[in-house]
Structure 1
Amino acid sequence: MNLRGVGVSPGIGHGPSYVMSASVPEPPEGATYTGEAEQEKERAMAALTRVAGELEARGNQAGGEAAEILKAQALMAEDPGLVVKVRSLIDRGLAAPRAVFEAFTRYREMLAGSGGFLGERAADVADIRDRVVALLYGHSMPVVPAAPAEPYVLVARDLAPADTALLSREQVAAFVTEEGGPTSHTAIIARAMGVPAVVACPGATGIPPGVRVMVDGSTGEVRLEPADADVADAAAAATARQAALASWQGPGATADGHEVPLLANVGGPGELADAVGAGAEGIGLYRTEFLFLGRSEAPAEEEQREAYRAALEAFPGGTVVVRTLDVGADKPLAFLPVPAEPNPALGERGLRRSRKFPEVMEAQLGALAAVASERLQVMAPMVATAEEAAWFARTCRAKGLGEAGVMIEIPSAALRAADLLAAVDFVSIGTNDLSQYAFAADRGLSAMSALHDPWQPALLGLVAMATGAARQAGKPCGICGEAAADPALACVFVGLGASTLSMAPSALAAVRAGLGAHTLEQCRQAARAAREQDTAADARAAAREHLPELDRLGL
């Protein structure tokens, strides 16, 4: 039996499975308390404070990357906005465990609905919630084996950093989770440990406990009861693959010298080191939501300046593209209240929200202007019309920012890309949302996953419209959706005319190698072949026929 997910930490790991299942019960809906509200609030606050202290202590013990992650999670446990929500729910009569559960679950759902980097923080919020609820009920959290007879494969629906921070390669052979993504903390800690990991693997928790499992952190394959010879062959192939990828160094370019800067998608200052270490040539998408979410008031301009300055200093010779605040009704901000919306994905998101609360954007653009250099580019999310693009460009220039661009993630923007490009200096395609809106398919629903396959020919057609308009206008058009992390699709995007590619840092080596092994003409042939097909599977197969070196590289 084989399963398949997303490989996020390369290498081969094998051993008996240890399936970690959550055991913290959900507090009964509507559960109330006896006694005084203030006493119940004190009980909740004491539990939150204790959990925060335990997380920070565990981070201090772990050190390294895990320490920063756990300290950030400890701060989240005492976030003022969440504390206010818990206290408010207790005032309405809910018992402390239920109040904590509801407050943190709503925040978790908000993050999960946002997708990308922020979506992958949802597991951290759920972990805090479960730890506090368990403490209030006097229950124990599930634990992992500390001294196994042999390294095991840790399997879970999702893993929080507190579960994995104190593990080592001597204890765990690999991680497999049903949820998560390339920038989830499971992925970050696994890479720091040098342990293979596969995330977003459907059916993983159905693996029987104790069954021997082989995990390929490069391909995403999870194989049950593999033969010893298969394990040896896979390990040798993985070693050879990593050596081959490591031999590709330098700036991104095709085999015949067509330059394609390879940039990183970054969700905050804590990810800058990973991007630099992976050889990114700059930042193609700097998400700024980390500065705003979960707060009762907007961040000070100085705090924003420091975060933006850190990004520029990390890449002294590279472009840094900062996306302005992208929040909406599915990612509410306490200091930007809006009425409830029946369909948040189609409501006041991104630039629409910024225009309604211009003081927030003005403060953000002011902070960016204060640290700006010729390498800084600023772009707005969720732009639908040329009028919106022109408004954003004027606003940026009024603040002294010279390079203003917009995201193309709504079909109308792709269809009228030429009009948008007349107003701005560059565009960047967000394939995740563009797919969601093109196919009327919620990106958060697993049942819609087939429509979110980035090889869908209709999606490639929208990308071609945008890149073609950019070529006619003589302006750059990059790709910053995670679809660019697929080496074959990266070649297709270059064949369609993409000027830059931005992705999770972990994908850069494979994309650099895949692109460098093929000429620009091969990329163009692959793009043409893919667009001629009717299905995503056929598009992928047709493109790979024109990219023969991918198989040799194990990509």
Structure 2
Amino acid sequence: MSELRGVGIGLGVAQGPVARMAEPLPAPEDVPSTLSPEEEIARVRDAVAVVARELETRGAQAGGLAREVLEAQAMMAEDPTLDQEVLTRTAAGKTGEFAVHDAFARFRDTLAAMGGYLGERAADLDDVAQRVIARLRGLPAPGIPDPGHPFVLVAKDLAPADTALLDLDKVLALVTTDGGPTSHTAILAREKSIVAVVGAAAAKDLADGEIVIVDAAKGVVTASPSDDELSQAQHRADARRTAASAPITPGALADGTAVPLLANLGKPEGAAEAVELGAEGVGLFRTEFLFLSSSQAPTVEQQAKAYTELLNAFPGKKVVVRALDAGADKPLAFLNDAHEENPALGLRGIRSLRASEDILREQLTALQQAQAATQADLWVMAPMIGTVEETEYFTTLCRDYGIKTAGVMVEVPSAALMAEKVLGIADFASIGTNDLTQYTMAADRLLGSVSSFQDPWHPAVLQLIGMTGAAGRTTGKPVGICGEAAADPLLAVVLVGLGATTLSMAPTALADVRATLLKYTRDDAERIAAAALAADGAASARAAAQAAADTVA
């Protein structure tokens, strides 16, 4: 028996035989083509079209976040710039396979250097290129293995096209050697309620067919476990299933302290599932879906219809809507598509909205109309607030448009450092832990090479959260968490101990967080948070919090 450590996603535990993802196709050799340039480019364009349609079909079947990601991949495959690059190479006598490999690799490197949203898309290019080359060679597309029985999938990481259509009847658990708690794979594992441990580097040595236990609660993969260990793991899995089927209760600590558990949503269609899973409202509604798929800004009427649909699903409950969070890292032709050397630090969030204020004013108009037409308790917040002046600007504008509750997102360290003054103006704050970690640690959250720094457990990040929580207590204003950190059950306890009054997460994470909070009192949560704060780094903070929690349990 040996234990491999990584970062667990959720509290699940599963066991079964390993099935490894196949290694990527070898790079094509740079040899002269035996076909004409016209024949080669025709082959490539046919293969690209087939791959793009396959990605779109997978997206339509998967729905949700996966659909958006796969449709973006399909568009990327047929990008005219890439087509021109491939054409240049085939015209020089290269094979279609090499032309695709070389052109996509160059384009990938260019996007990776840009960082931000475009940097994330760079990783997807490798998957698209592999699929096109496989098609040209007449080989099966790279993807999930099918050993003919349920299995634990072990991979370096998963491409969006793979995660979109995982057969959850066969994939018992997921283990990756790369990635962290905010990686694409981790986010989709939460969305699909897959037992997962990510960043377990030693998993590269696991063999096909080897029996393992994947314990997300402990962040451990046990290889070649004993019969007793297998029995204990099965008992825990059965107990967790029983607990999940128990009646849903409001989020609370063991001493009765209320901690409302809210849902992060990207489209109104997700509201019904969120309610079914016990969401007590919405802590983050991302409005980007209305804008990112359009060549021009949606009308007030189009926006009001979508917001009304969302609010109608939560009568009498809090629904927090984030104003459009776009800019140079998510270019919109009608907002700001100018190239920036470092888009994560550029014209995004509230900065971008101020530069195109008519977009913000139309959005607030639509939100006010939806507020008037429904019974939900609408809260509206601005993204990427960095100054007190920006807070004043946004809240004043909201009040001009009849928005009753206006707040800010704390994602920039300056907002946390000035939290008491910010909350002296805003009605509430919501901490976006993904970006707060990115800017605190100076590590692009979409760049795999620095993913080890992108951990909200780092005491520097926790200190900023604690400062914001303290400011909330001083001013009497609520402070929520809407980043991925809230979906980590133990970290959720720490966040409450730091002053968070609500937690918002992917709906599938609600049950685990609800069950964990019920184990601890407020005093316990504050003691566990203090242990994490006293640590020197992310790993030691997690370990210290777990040790403190174990003394209670």
Q: TM-score range by the shorter chain?
A: 0.7 to 0.9
2:95 equivalent in structure 1: none
Structure 2 counterpart of 1:509, from 508, 511, 528? 511
1:130 equivalent in structure 2: 130
Return the alpha-carbon distance in structure 2 between the equivalents of residues 389 and 170 of structure 1.
48
Return the alpha-carbon distance in structure 1 between the equivalents of residues 482 and 169 of structure 2.
37
Segment drifting more, 534-543 vs 205-214: 534-543
SS of the residue aligned with 1:455? coil
* Aligned ranges 1:197-346 → 2 under 5 Å: 197-244=196-243, 247=246, 249-269=248-268, 271-293=270-292, 296-346=295-345
Q: Deviations over 1:149-193 (max 9, x none)?
A: x4332222333465466665664433323447679578758976x
Structure 1 counterpart of 2:465, from 458, 463, 466? 463
* Aligned ranges 1:407-446 → 2 under 5 Å: 407-444=409-446
Cα distance change on mapping 1:429 and 1:171 into 2, 3 Å: closer
Shift of 1:98: 6.0
Q: Which amino acid aligns with 2:228?
A: A
Segment drifting more, 484-493 vs 531-540: 531-540
SS of the residue aligned with 1:359? helix
Cα distance change on mapping 1:525 and 1:226 into 2, 3 Å: closer
Q: Which amino acid aligns with 2:484?
A: E
Return the alpha-carbon distance in structure 2 between the equivalents of residues 538 and 68 of structure 1.
35
Q: Deviations over 1:201-231 (max 9, x none)?
A: 4344443334333323544422222223322
Q: Which amino acid aligns with 1:394?
A: T
Shift of 1:427: 0.9
Q: Which amino acid aligns with 1:314?
A: A
Segment drifting more, 333-342 vs 377-386: 333-342
Return the alpha-carbon distance in structure 1 between the equivalents of residues 122 and 87 of structure 2.
26
SS of the residue aligned with 2:425? coil
Cα distance change on mapping 1:381 and 1:459 into 2, 3 Å: same
Cα distance change on mapping 1:244 and 1:21 into 2, 3 Å: same
Cα distance change on mapping 1:85 and 1:306 into 2, 3 Å: farther
SS of the residue aligned with 1:508? helix
Q: Which amino acid aligns with 1:519?
A: T
Segment drifting more, 89-98 vs 316-325: 89-98
- Contact conserved, 2:419 with 2:471, CA < 8 A, in 1? yes
Return the alpha-carbon distance in structure 1 between the equivalents of residues 492 and 171 of structure 2.
33
Return the alpha-carbon distance in structure 2 between the equivalents of residues 343 and 262 of structure 1.
35
Cα distance change on mapping 1:107 and 1:163 into 2, 3 Å: farther
Gaps of 5+ in 1: none
Segment drifting more, 387-396 vs 265-274: 265-274
2:96 equivalent in structure 1: none
Shift of 1:419: 2.0
Segment drifting more, 74-83 vs 429-438: 74-83
* Aligned ranges 1:140-179 → 2 under 5 Å: 140-146=140-146, 148=148, 150-160=149-159, 163=162, 168=167, 171-177=170-176, 178-179=178-179
| Paired-residue identity, % | 44
Shift of 1:297: 3.8
1:7 equivalent in structure 2: 9
- Contact conserved, 2:151 with 2:170, CA < 8 A, in 1? yes
2:104 equivalent in structure 1: 101
Return the alpha-carbon distance in structure 1 between the equivalents of residues 324 and 382 of structure 2.
8
Return the alpha-carbon distance in structure 2 between the equivalents of residues 104 and 395 of structure 1.
41
Return the alpha-carbon distance in structure 1 between the equivalents of residues 54 and 3 of structure 2.
38
Shift of 1:261: 0.8
- Contact conserved, 2:290 with 2:303, CA < 8 A, in 1? yes
Segment drifting more, 165-174 vs 226-235: 165-174
Return the alpha-carbon distance in structure 2 between the equivalents of residues 223 and 320 of structure 1.
41
Q: Which amino acid aligns with 2:428?
A: F
Q: Deviations over 1:373-420 (max 9, x none)?
A: 552211111111111111112232333322211111222111211222
SS of the residue aligned with 1:20? coil
SS of the residue aligned with 1:315? coil
Shift of 1:354: 1.7
Return the alpha-carbon distance in structure 2 between the equivalents of residues 34 and 359 of structure 1.
53
TM-score where L is the length of structure 1: 0.81
Q: Deviations over 1:474-502 (max 9, x none)?
A: 22111122222233332232233222111
Structure 2 counterpart of 1:406, from 391, 405, 408? 408
Return the alpha-carbon distance in structure 1 between the equivalents of residues 437 and 524 of structure 2.
25
Shift of 1:92: 7.1
Shift of 1:450: 5.8
- Contact conserved, 2:179 with 2:448, CA < 8 A, in 1? no
Shift of 1:235: 1.3
Q: Which amino acid aligns with 1:153?
A: V
Return the alpha-carbon distance in structure 1 between the equivalents of residues 11 and 542 of structure 2.
23
Q: Deviations over 1:41-97 (max 9, x none)?
A: 87666444423443455678xx6xx36677656644554996454456568778773
Q: Deviations over 1:503-535 (max 9, x none)?
A: 232332222122222222332333344445555
Return the alpha-carbon distance in structure 2 between the equivalents of residues 104 and 294 of structure 1.
23
SS of the residue aligned with 1:308? helix
Return the alpha-carbon distance in structure 2 between the equivalents of residues 20 and 458 of structure 1.
39
Cα distance change on mapping 1:218 and 1:521 into 2, 3 Å: closer
Gaps of 5+ in 2: 92-98
Q: Which amino acid aligns with 1:494?
A: V
Cα distance change on mapping 1:505 and 1:183 into 2, 3 Å: farther
Q: Deviations over 1:233-270 (max 9, x none)?
A: 21112222443465473111122222111112223346
2:355 equivalent in structure 1: 356
- Contact conserved, 1:379 with 1:404, CA < 8 A, in 2? yes
- Contact conserved, 1:269 with 1:307, CA < 8 A, in 2? yes
**Count of residues in correspondence between the two structures:** 537
Q: Which amino acid aligns with 1:132?
A: V
Q: Which amino acid aligns with 1:2?
A: E
Cα distance change on mapping 1:309 and 1:133 into 2, 3 Å: farther
Cα distance change on mapping 1:50 and 1:454 into 2, 3 Å: closer
Structure 1 counterpart of 2:22, from 17, 20, 23? 20
